[in-house]
Amino acid sequence: MLPRAFRLFVSSTFSDMAEERTILQNDVFPELEVYCANRGFSFQAIDLRWGITEEAQLNQKTLDLCIREVSESRAHPRPNFLILSGERYGWVPLPRIITEKDFVKIKSHLYKSEQIVNSDVISKWYQLDENCVPAAFVLQGRYGIGRQSFQPYEKWLEEESKLRAILQEVVTAIRLDSREVYFLSATEQEVIAGIPGFRTTAENIYSNAPCSENHQILMEDIYAVLRSVKPCEGKKSSDFFELGGVAAERVERFRNRLFTFLPNEQLIPLTASLATFNNGGFDSEYKKQFKFMVITKLKNAITKQIDTLAEKYSSPVSIENEEHLSFRDNRARIFFGRDDLFKAINTYIVSPNDAPFIISGLSGAGKSAFIAKLSTQLEDQGYSCVVRFVGASARSVSMRGLLSSICEGISLTAEPMQTPKSYEGMDLQSLSKIFNQKVAELAEKGKTLILLIDALDQLVDNENLLWIPEYLPSHLKLVITSLEGHYIDNLKSIYKKKPYYMPALSSHEGEIVLNKWLEYEQRTLSTLQRSYVMALFQNVGTPLYLRLAFDEASRWSSTCIPKLASDVSGIICEFIDNLYQISHHNVLVVERSLAYLCAGRYGMTEKELLDVLSDDPEVMKAIKNEFHQLNLQNKLPIVIWARLRAELKPYLMIRNLQDVEVLCFFHRQIQQVAEKKLKDNSHHFHLAKYFDSQPLTLGGQIKIYNQRKLVELPYQLFQAGNLERLIQVMDQSFITAKINSGMGFECLDEISNLYQHIINQKLLNLKVESLIFSLIDALVSLGNVDSDILSVEDVHANFIYRENLCFYKAFLKTGSENRWLKLNQTEHSKNIQLCYQQAFMARHGNMLRRDNDLKGATKVIQKVLSQLIATAQPDQAECSRIEYDLGYINYLRGEFCEAANWLEKSANRADNNGNKIGGSISRCVEFRIRWFDDSISTNDYVTQLDIALQIFQDESDRSPTAKRWIMNIWAHKFEIAYRYKILSDAEAAFKNIEQNRWLKSERGPKELLPYQARLACLKKNSQAAVAYWQDYFFERDIDIESNREAAARDYYDFGIALRQAGDETKAKNIWQHALGFPSDPGNHYWHAAIDKALA
């Protein structure tokens, strides 16, 4: 994954550094945010003392949170650690955990020295938790019996000081081995966590031993401001100095250690004077110097890191691959069980199989974790393996993007030392060709490819699976996981194979996984608690339930009485409720954070989430207290979100979308429960407002599109119901930006869905036609009808096979007119406009033909053909397509001779242009029409079908059109066999039709009924034939039937079946009904046949 987010943890003492932190918040960090944004990165500063809440300290885990954030920041590009050190040592927190062994020593000393009161104070705040490993006494939160009175911060400050003094005195007296931790300030503990080697053991914490080379590399992440203050007689200095004692010694040693340990170029030594200190703080010269030095150092470090990252992640293909491998490694980290499934797949891989291995199961059953673990095992065994997790990257959420990512993954597997080509933005047909070519290339090298695809059901589109070979070659093994639904049904239909249903984890497997998780967190459970959890898990069996149960149970002390919901939805609700009931997060912060995460189209960046929460007046009012008065920018204190994110982390995933890191829920069940629990359309309204306020382009001299706005704004406006604003947003500049950002097909869907919604809802007040004009203008601005970015044919292919064509018909009609043409254009611009208008007209004619408006189609198509042929260099492919349409129109009119002539022209032009598939299609239709007209022999027709079939089969792995026409060829062969009553040929053709993947995936089993009826007739089983026809015509709309192409043909054959069954009256009624159909489209031949049958 290309790291696009800089995350800088700020470690400092509190009150004495308030002025510097104000400068950071108001001046330094905003400038760095802009600096990074202009380079395609984000910047986030983590200052947990800035706006820290009382609530955040109630559970006594403030320091744990700080250390966790240090670790989180270290996972991001450098610089990621800024130390502000003055001459105050700062807050020394109480240890949150004291091992049972040490606690017994402390209590023993207090008992022997008769410090009963002090012993009672210690016992009140530290209680034994045998669920810690090893068992320990844990500092209790400021709630519960005997402790709730200490919730006011001032009262707790006094109690904390007393506890600290008691513990420090005792551990010093008994020379406890771990006594150092009782004296360390929070700042120094953060630095120890942030700087490797700063402290290796308690004994050598201040050792000046040189650090290792590895530490030197890691220290490039860290910068330190070391401020010295010149005292001034008569001015209070305790705010800036430790006035003697242990604290003064410690701060001096700490600062000396920083000077010694960090390289000089990462130190920022500054001097301020109390002499010039007043109500406005230190003098302006010091403030300027502080700001300048920090910005300069951090900008230089950021620039250096961006250059390094640009070199490391220069290939978008490598970035895409890394996304999936990173996701895989995270999911496979703790895994156990599923031995039977591993064994089944290993058998599948080494056995001759020509179908995929399909895995289904409940959501949360652990399918993704299994695929992740399987991938690592197969790689360890030396297999060439490509793994893709739907949704793990921006591209992999759509079929087109997923297939392009798979093709790139195969390239990386085949040539790991080379930088492969990116296939992003290509259409499915082209990608299908590339996929099969890549698999074949691996086979030539003697390699078997194992392709693993997880969560196919999470694709945002329901595209077909025609790119997968109908019979997998021996050198390709494919494992797919999916929930039940569209894709599983499709795969079962194609391969006639039941999926492997992933069962629930066994109790034994579940307990081992639970133990591994507990061990990782250094926790355990009592016998009663463990039995309770496992009994509930046994009834559910999914890893998701076990994980949620673990997260709740890992917080239980050994004396806690267990209580959990008994199903997945219930435990998710319980988890959400416990965020504020047990973890004491603000209710509104929890609800709004979850709601915004759910409301994002694919999730939210952390910055977006913090921005929108900060813009929410109800949220800001809810968290406002005396600490937040210092927050001059009125931003949500990062500590509030950091605490919440830490608890949500196991259920969140990070996607790299539009080159930014986006947070979203990994499990759909969690998202679904959260959406149901927090359903409120206002979240989309707030997000729409937020993204609408952002600029369309980012950057300085080199402008880049704001891709987050391009993705989120149309979605949020639509979900918020603000359609009027959405129409305004979708202007030429916005659509052009989406197309140029590789989101052309997404944009087409957005416009089409919006148009359809407005028409369906009859929102007549909305200027819906402006959407069409904006799309036309955006396409024309590309300057070429065959543009690689988005061609007119790409647009046509995207829409033409859809059921609902309301928008596309209106688009083509408008595109064929002159209303959108711009006046006062240069000759070059006029020519471009004309080319686009001709392309729109050609496809408008094709659409009219499909709608059986043959007169209108002929008029439009002939007009555009005459214009094209009149040009100096006519587009041969376009001319061939138009000639095909003219030929088909004449066929539908019954003008067979004219039809065949046009189709012959189309075929010749396509052949001359090297278009084998197009030429074969035109030739097949031409020969079929000539056969109807008895102008060629059946043998000539069959020969042509065989030639075309070979071409389509050769191209089928690379062309969905070829796959579709394989079915058409067998339909034509069946037609011939039926006409001449050759049962064996009809059965052979039907077998191929029945197994054809295009028919199964696009049309469904009902389309087989006419073939089954005709076969029954050939077998003289007239009753069965009639039954098949009755099933086929059941619930069909008569009005639609009468306009269906060559509908009279089916009625003719239905009548024949009825006549064979002895029902002459009904046969004649059926035929008379069919004679009422108009001759156009394509009924001329069959009307004549019916007249002959009636005679």
The predicted-structure confidence for 738-769, as pLDDT tens digits, reads as follows 999 888 988 999 999 999 999 999 987 888 89
**Mean pLDDT of the 514-522 span:** 92
Number of structural domains in the chain: 5
**Mean pLDDT of the 397-426 span:** 84
Task: Decide if pLDDT at 629 tops 60.
Answer: no
Residue of 270, 265, 273 whose CA lies nearest to 289: 270
Predicted local distance difference test score (pLDDT) of residue 1002: 63
**Mean pLDDT of the 900-926 span:** 94
Do 209 and 177 lie in a common domain? no
Identify the domain boundary among 295, 312, 329: 312
Do 463 and 583 lie in a common domain? no
1073: in domain? yes
Lowest mean pLDDT among 714-723, 951-960, 1047-1056: 951-960
Look at 193 and 304; give whichever has higher pLDDT.
304
Do 477 and 360 lie in a common domain? yes
Under a CB-based contact definition with an 8 Å cutoff, are residues 255 and 267 in contact?
no
pLDDT tens per residue across span 43-86: 888 887 664 555 556 667 778 878 888 888 887 888 989 999 99
pLDDT tens per residue across span 999-1016: 666 666 778 899 999 999
Do 236 and 345 lie in a common domain? no
989: in domain? yes
Predicted local distance difference test score (pLDDT) of residue 998: 65
Do 486 and 354 lie in a common domain? yes
Predicted local distance difference test score (pLDDT) of residue 212: 40
Do 474 and 410 lie in a common domain? yes
Predicted local distance difference test score (pLDDT) of residue 205: 37
Do 153 and 205 lie in a common domain? no
Predicted local distance difference test score (pLDDT) of residue 202: 35
Six-digit token pair at 929?
Answer: 């029409």
Look at 971 and 700; give whichever has higher pLDDT.
971
Do 192 and 171 lie in a common domain? no
pLDDT band at 114 (very low <50, low <70, confident <90, very high): confident
Identify the domain boundary among 688, 721, 754: 721
**Mean pLDDT of the 176-180 span:** 91
Lowest mean pLDDT among 28-42, 531-545, 926-940, 1033-1047: 1033-1047
Domain harbouring 69, CATH code: 3.40.50
Angle at which helices 983-995 and 960-979 cross, to 10°? 160
Lowest mean pLDDT among 14-23, 838-847, 994-1003: 994-1003
Domain harbouring 991, CATH code: 1.25.40.10
Lowest mean pLDDT among 9-13, 481-485, 646-650: 646-650
Residue type, 934: D
* Dist. CA 1092–CA 1084, nearest whole Å: 13
* Dist. CA 998–CA 465, nearest whole Å: 9
Task: Decide if pLDDT at 536 tops 60.
Answer: yes
* Dist. CA 501–CA 505, nearest whole Å: 12
Predicted local distance difference test score (pLDDT) of residue 1037: 63
**Mean pLDDT of the 464-476 span:** 85
Residues whose CB is less than 8 angstroms from the CB of residue 1 and which lie 6 or more positions away in sequence, other chains included = 319, 322, 323, 326, 654, 656, 661
Task: Decide if pLDDT at 626 tops 70.
Answer: no
Do 581 and 685 lie in a common domain? yes
Under a CB-based contact definition with an 8 Å cutoff, are residues 533 and 547 in contact?
no
926: in domain? no
Do 48 and 127 lie in a common domain? no
Radius of gyration over every alpha carbon of the chain, rounded to an integer in angstroms: 36
- Mean residue pLDDT of the chain comes to 87
Residue % of the chain over a pLDDT of 90: 51
Predicted local distance difference test score (pLDDT) of residue 358: 95
The range of the structural domain enclosing residue 484 comes to 317-501
67: in domain? yes
Q: Identify which of 553-567, 582-596, 688-702, 1072-1086 has the greatest average pLDDT.
A: 553-567
**Mean pLDDT of the 714-741 span:** 95
Predicted local distance difference test score (pLDDT) of residue 684: 94
Lowest mean pLDDT among 584-588, 608-612, 835-839, 883-887: 584-588
Task: Decide if pLDDT at 153 tops 90.
Answer: no
Residue 209 Rama label (left phi>0; alpha psi -120 to 50; beta)? beta
The model's pTM: 0.78
Identify the domain boundary among 290, 312, 334: 312
Do 1062 and 974 lie in a common domain? yes
Predicted local distance difference test score (pLDDT) of residue 206: 34
pLDDT band at 995 (very low <50, low <70, confident <90, very high): confident
894: in domain? no
Supply φ then ψ for residue 230, to 5 degrees.
-80, 125
Q: How many CA atoms lie within 13 A of 837 on its CB side?
A: 17
* Dist. CA 986–CA 446, nearest whole Å: 40
511: in domain? no
Q: How many CB atoms lie within 10 A of CB 927?
A: 24
Predicted local distance difference test score (pLDDT) of residue 218: 61
Residue of 1090, 1091, 1089, 1086 whose CA lies nearest to 894: 1086
Residue with structure tokens 């006419």?
Answer: 1010
454: in domain? yes
Predicted local distance difference test score (pLDDT) of residue 1069: 93
Do 594 and 683 lie in a common domain? yes
pLDDT band at 467 (very low <50, low <70, confident <90, very high): confident
Residues whose CB is less than 8 angstroms from the CB of residue 902 and which lie 6 or more positions away in sequence, other chains included = 883, 884, 886, 887, 890
pLDDT band at 680 (very low <50, low <70, confident <90, very high): confident
The CA-to-CA distance between both ends of the chain, in Å, stands at 75
Residue 1082 Rama label (left phi>0; alpha psi -120 to 50; beta)? left
754: in domain? no
* Dist. CA 983–CA 752, nearest whole Å: 47
pLDDT band at 165 (very low <50, low <70, confident <90, very high): very high
